[in-house]
Structure 1
Amino acid sequence: MIQYLIHSTVLALLLYGSYRIWLRKQTFFQWNRIWLLLVPVLSIALPFIHIDFGIDILPDTTAVKDLVNQPVYYDPLMDTNSLTLAEEVNNKIDLNWWLIIYVAGALVSLTCFILQRLKISVIRKASTLKFINNIPVYQIPRLENAFSVDGHIYMNSDLENKDFEIIFKHESVHVIQKHYLDLRFYVLLKIILWFHPMVYLLQKELKLIHEFIADQSCASHKENYTELLLNQTFNTKELSFANSFFNHSHLKNRIKMIHKPLSQKTKIFNYILIIPIALSSLIYTSCVTEPQEEEIIIIEEELSYEDKEALDEFPIEGQTKISKEQYEKFLEWLKINHPDMYPKETISEVSSYTTIDVTLPFSVVDEHPYPNTCDNEIDKKICTQEFISKHVADNFDYKGFNLAQGRYKITAQFKINANGQVVSIQTGAKTPELENEAKRVLKLLPKFVPGKHKGKDVGVFYALPIIFEVNK
């Protein structure tokens, strides 16, 4: 999402900057109108479009490597200040503050629009409706500013006939060319993208183009028309979705553009700029690829249900499901690096061997090992997991190690043997102090009621991470 927002914003800046530098001063007003309507459309749509140009560029695999280098565990502990149980974190209300801020901003923008519509309703109730050239015109006494909204014109009924005709002709151009549809589009953008400054800049430019188009259509007598603009008093507040005849901020530019000679026809080729900008965006989108989940997850149908369950508890790096061949390689690695944790025989042959020779994954055994405090619990597996998590959270202390600010992870694995004792503790961390602290805490675990498989006491392999953040 962040990459999309950056891409979209840069594209909008390029299109807007091109308009300001090469197109804004041209008298091709209809082309400028189209350009300003296309800027948000292209900025939103192009980053989503992926076209295969046949360019083979390797994706950035950093994110994939980060995932592959992280073991998969079933019961992570998370903490922001001190080591905290995952269950305790889950019990807290997880508020997405960015989403809350976005929704609040959208509601504020929508409320402003509704209030402006209510102002129009009040004005309409106090007006007299007439149809001039099939255009509805609401005439209101002492209305300070003429404007058009949604194909309706609102004018001061006290205007002199000459001024009334000129202003009506101007506002009728807005109605006939449906400028109000352009403004509706931008009102919708301001509600959805209220946080984006480009929306406000583009809307301001578009409203100015609307005035240029209307002025060009009715300024046959430039001096008289300019005098009318200068002689009127206009103190009303502008409506974001209305085309107003009088506007302080636009007055200078409008008068300059009224007296400006028409641009040379060759200048229209400046609008071709949109092609290289759009093409550059498409090439960038097509060449930049994000890591996909499929690159790090392999699902093999030939794995048995028991194998898949067992693999969820093994510290296989970066994969929740692996092939049979990878599983065998992992067992070879375990045999070389941690022979005391290596399952001497396969699960199907457990019944023919003594309990001392067998170590099984936690999720596979028929009856899970559990502490005495779980005697009365129906689900011994969950009770044991919660007990070990709470034990680590209550006893782990990293505050004396003078750690730098950041996120830390300790990998820990151990065996609850056939006698219920915690043995073969293995830990991995960035510093020896953290490794030793994790070992100290795990050694404090009490004796368990041993696990059973097919009626026999067996050793059980258990793995968990200890993850915490240091904030200073």
Structure 2
Amino acid sequence: MLYTIFQIIAFQALFLLVYDLFLKRETFFNYNRAYLLLTAIVSFVLPFLKFPELKKMTTQNVVIQLPEVFIGTKASPISEIQIAETAGKIMEQPKTPIWQYVFWIGLIIATLVFVYKIVKLYWLKENSPKRWQGNILVVRLIKSSAAFSFFNTVFLGEKIPDSEKTTIYKHELVHVEELHTLDLLFFELLRIVFWFNPLIYIYQNRIKELHEFIADAKAVKQNGKAEYYQSLLNQMFDTNNVSFTNTFFKKSLIKKRIAMLQKSKSRQLNLIKYALLIPLVFGMLIYTSTEVRAQEKTETKNEANQELTDEQLIQSYYDEILKMKEEGISVVEISDYTGFTIKNSDVYIRSKENYLKSIAFMQHMADALIKRKSEDGTLTDKDYETAKNMTLNKHQSYKEYREWKKTDEAKKLWESNAKDGELRFVVNDFKNKTAKEQKRFDELLGKLHDDDNFYKLTVCEMVGVSKIELYDNSDEDTKEIEVVEENIEVPFLVIEEVPTLPKCLDLTNNKERKYCLSDFVNKHVNKNFNTDLAHGLPPGRKRVFVQFKIDKEGKVKDIIARGPSEALEVEAKRVIGMLPQFIPGRQKGKLVTVPYSLPIVFEVKDDAKRLNELIQERDNLLQNANADKNPVIIQLNQQINALKTKLKDTLDSFRAKNYDKFIERLETKAQRDSVEFIPSEYKKTKPENETEPWTTVEVAPVHPNCNPISSESDSKECTTSAINKHIGKNFNMNFAKSLNLTAGKKRIFVQFKIDKEGLISNIIARGPHPKLEEEAVRVLKLLPQFTPGKKDGETVDVAYSIPIIFQIVNTKND
């Protein structure tokens, strides 16, 4: 934005320089008027005009970027998005730059000044004597000798001598007929928006001079030069100061006007000076067109500023593989991510993304081999040789790989590696086969049809990078035509302008927009993913790994999900497919496709084991507490009832006949002391109502410290703040530091329910260490009883989630 403004000011300065040096003294007043109006407009348009064809007129290799030299330690790539420093802290909105405040203050002041001038003008018009003279309104100014015009209104001071009023009136009539007021209002509006640009004021002064020259030239024809000179010299009195009116008596202009009247008419040959505008504008267009080069990608080998180099992309893919490994992603899932799949085995030319990912994957496998052997103490020279062979790459770049694929050696190698029952053939252009290629194709097609040992022919072409699969099938010869895309995809972690949402555009930097997008996707999945589909799976933590791409239009595509069951994979694809259209990402100024990976992690609990634990916990509390008044025991009873209902629903489907015996095995002595646990009553318990999300519940639960607050939004904000403060006060950070965790930001994601009694229940915590999860559960159990949430006038259970975030500092480096 600021750069564009600087360009506009520079162009205006050049236009004004040409005007003052070559055109200002000429008597081509109407041409000069057109020049000033046109160049003022063109200066605003030029920065946005880009003509790539003009780049061919300049030297192509103007800038050569040498390889980067790193002194000291090279900065590591961003591995995670930094977020709030403390538990539950809400990210601050970015501060508005000071220059924006200054701009808007100046704009408001300039607007007020303009409005004041308009009001003053209309006040003079309404409070002064006036009369119509044809279609011109003549206003007589009391006790004034000023003379000026505004649209079709001419203002004449009553002190102007009668002998000169006719001359002055004819002068102002020229302003009205030539619509000079429109010119001045145009520049007045520019002065409001670009109040900080001094060149706009110079433009306006130059156009006012021209207006007077034009009016003088026409008026003097009717009155004679001598009489007109005398009028100018006699009337050096008070003047009107409104910048968008044409004033007859302006002392600073009198001398220039007389000098211009005395000047001889310019020769027609001098009109050639206006041709200077052509090379001037052409040069500006070349500048604006070639300036965009730095924002475009080229395919030269060493220009690292045009796009990410192969080395940078390999490093980013390698970092993503490490991150996936740390998150517990299996090798099979990682190989899917990198394209090491059976599906891609018969692709002749791999896309740049898959090719570079494969290099990163093999490097990771080699490093993992060396690390594993080193830790086991079994590392040998043979292992080093194996690792070296795994990472040996005879092609230095993707470009070299593509060139090698054009050779006969590469084609024969790929064709000879066909699986049993399959035939392969590489052709340059399938639609325009050479005679040799057509003959070979016909031979393979005949073999496919006649030889029962073959069932499939795969044809790959070089031009369109397409794959055609032909099957020996009477119903359908062609199964599919798959076009392998070569569009460069920039990983989410390293992209310069991340895909985002309209609500995230106001954020000042890419890091904050990354967090905004990730937070939105996480909340979307958390809200819409149906974990009930995991029922029937063994208890424990489950993970569905999802990959998708945000294309150049901001649409989600190519969704891949890998999970413990097909139902969960389908559900993950459904939820990701519901994401809205994003604002697409950009790399070096160009729209790019951005791959995004997301692990969906949840817990499948052993309900019978959990029920037994709750009963034992309640049993211990009953020994020293009153069951009727203790809120913790009431809360445990509710959790036990809910679990019993859930178990009954499950058992009704699988082993309903053994239900009573199953419940009896879980009951302890303490259950007989409380009517809450009589099996007969339990059988009558109705399933709990569906839990309402905190963000959508009609009346949210209220923390005791927030009563009474009338506004629902204020109440929610107060309750959220109270929970955050409670966590920040009670969470034991010293305990977290004692676990020897790696340095960096740590997150514990906590979910719980505020039930119909206002009590905290169903606390689930997931973090980097089981002890931290236990600490989070302990802290949340200390929360007081809330005023319960409501829907349609009835109390309801409300689900609440919060991230607890803290920093582990590596004291060894301090």
TM-score normalized by the length of structure 2:
0.39
1:358 corresponds to which residue? Answer: none
- For the Cα contact (< 8 Å) 2:82–2:745, is it kept in 1? no
How many positions carry a matched residue from both structures? 357
2 CA distance for matches of 1:213 and 1:87?
A: 71
- For the Cα contact (< 8 Å) 2:27–2:265, is it kept in 1? yes
SS in 2 for 1:238: coil
Deviation at 1:285, TM superposition (A): 1.6
Among 237, 244, 247, the alignment partner of 2:247 is 244
Residues 147 and 341 of structure 1: CA distance in aligned 2, closer, same or farther (over 3 Å): farther
Q: What letter corresponds to residue 142 of structure 1 in structure 2?
A: K
Deviation at 1:264, TM superposition (A): 1.4
1:95 corresponds to which residue? Answer: 96
Note the 1:42-61 alignment, pairs <5 A. 42-53=42-53, 55-56=55-56, 57=60
Deviation at 1:141, TM superposition (A): 2.4
SS in 1 for 2:270: helix
Among 283, 292, 295, the alignment partner of 1:291 is 295
- Runs (4+) of structure 1 moved beyond 4 Å? 58-62, 84-89, 292-298, 310-315, 336-342, 346-351
Q: What letter corresponds to residue 45 of structure 2 in structure 1?
A: A
Residues 54 and 229 of structure 1: CA distance in aligned 2, closer, same or farther (over 3 Å): closer
> Alpha-carbon deviations, 1:211-267, whole Å to 9, x = none?
000111112422221221121142234111100001112111111111111111111
1 CA distance for matches of 2:201 and 2:76?
A: 44
Deviation at 1:4, TM superposition (A): 2.2
- For the Cα contact (< 8 Å) 1:421–1:448, is it kept in 2? no
Residues 118 and 448 of structure 1: CA distance in aligned 2, closer, same or farther (over 3 Å): same
Note the 1:361-376 alignment, pairs <5 A. 363-364=598-599, 366-367=601-602
Q: What letter corresponds to residue 81 of structure 2 in structure 1?
A: D
- For the Cα contact (< 8 Å) 1:170–1:214, is it kept in 2? yes
RMSD of Structure 2 on Structure 1 (CA): 4.5
Deviation at 1:332, TM superposition (A): 2.8
Deviation at 1:77, TM superposition (A): 6.4
1 CA distance for matches of 2:208 and 2:8?
A: 23
Among 253, 268, 273, the alignment partner of 2:256 is 253
Q: Does 1:234 align with 2:251?
A: no
Residues 184 and 363 of structure 1: CA distance in aligned 2, closer, same or farther (over 3 Å): same
Q: Does 1:214 align with 2:218?
A: no
In structure 2, list runs of 5 or more residues that go unmatched: 70-74, 299-305, 310-316, 326-337, 339-351, 373-543, 546-560, 565-595, 604-692, 694-723, 734-738, 749-766, 774-806, 810-814
In structure 1, list runs of 5 or more residues that go unmatched: 79-83, 299-306, 316-320, 352-360, 369-377, 379-385, 396-419, 424-438, 453-463, 467-472
Q: What letter corresponds to residue 43 of structure 2 in structure 1?
A: S
1:6 corresponds to which residue? Answer: 6
> Alpha-carbon deviations, 1:141-179, whole Å to 9, x = none?
222310011221111234333211000000000000000
Which of 1 and 2 has greater Rg? 2
1 CA distance for matches of 2:93 and 2:598?
A: 28
Q: What letter corresponds to residue 282 of structure 1 in structure 2?
A: L
2:203 corresponds to which residue? Answer: 202
- Mean Cα displacement is larger for which, 258-267 or 5-14? 5-14
- For the Cα contact (< 8 Å) 2:145–2:160, is it kept in 1? no
2 CA distance for matches of 1:86 and 1:242?
A: 63
Residues 287 and 264 of structure 1: CA distance in aligned 2, closer, same or farther (over 3 Å): same
- For the Cα contact (< 8 Å) 1:138–1:152, is it kept in 2? yes
- For the Cα contact (< 8 Å) 1:59–1:291, is it kept in 2? no
2 CA distance for matches of 1:296 and 1:24?
A: 48
Residues 362 and 49 of structure 1: CA distance in aligned 2, closer, same or farther (over 3 Å): closer
> Alpha-carbon deviations, 1:354-404, whole Å to 9, x = none?
xxxxxxx99536359xxxxxxxxx9xxxxxxx9xxx9xxxx9xxxxxxxxx
Q: What letter corresponds to residue 770 of structure 2 in structure 1?
A: V
- For the Cα contact (< 8 Å) 1:33–1:206, is it kept in 2? yes
Residues 209 and 234 of structure 1: CA distance in aligned 2, closer, same or farther (over 3 Å): same
- For the Cα contact (< 8 Å) 1:141–1:157, is it kept in 2? yes
- For the Cα contact (< 8 Å) 1:77–1:85, is it kept in 2? no
> Alpha-carbon deviations, 1:179-224, whole Å to 9, x = none?
0010111011111111111100110010011000011111242222
2 CA distance for matches of 1:9 and 1:193?
A: 10
> Alpha-carbon deviations, 1:422-456, whole Å to 9, x = none?
46xxxxxxxxxxxxxxx6x789x99712999xxxx
1:328 corresponds to which residue? Answer: 358
1:449 corresponds to which residue? Answer: 770
Note the 1:70-219 alignment, pairs <5 A. 71-76=77-82, 90-91=91-92, 94-219=95-220
Deviation at 1:111, TM superposition (A): 0.6
1:37 corresponds to which residue? Answer: 37
2 CA distance for matches of 1:465 and 1:259?
A: 84
1 CA distance for matches of 2:283 and 2:88?
A: 48
Deviation at 1:87, TM superposition (A): 8.7
Q: What letter corresponds to residue 20 of structure 1 in structure 2?
A: D
Note the 1:413-428 alignment, pairs <5 A. 422=741
Deviation at 1:91, TM superposition (A): 1.9
TM-score normalized by the length of structure 1:
0.64
Residues 29 and 341 of structure 1: CA distance in aligned 2, closer, same or farther (over 3 Å): farther
SS in 2 for 1:189: helix
- For the Cα contact (< 8 Å) 1:139–1:154, is it kept in 2? yes
1 CA distance for matches of 2:131 and 2:745?
A: 87
2 CA distance for matches of 1:216 and 1:87?
A: 76
- Mean Cα displacement is larger for which, 93-102 or 40-49? 93-102
Deviation at 1:129, TM superposition (A): 2.2
SS in 2 for 1:74: coil
Bigger RCO (CA 8 Å, 6+ sep): 1
2:804 corresponds to which residue? Answer: none
1 CA distance for matches of 2:205 and 2:741?
A: 71
Identity of aligned residues (%): 24
2 CA distance for matches of 1:365 and 1:117?
A: 63
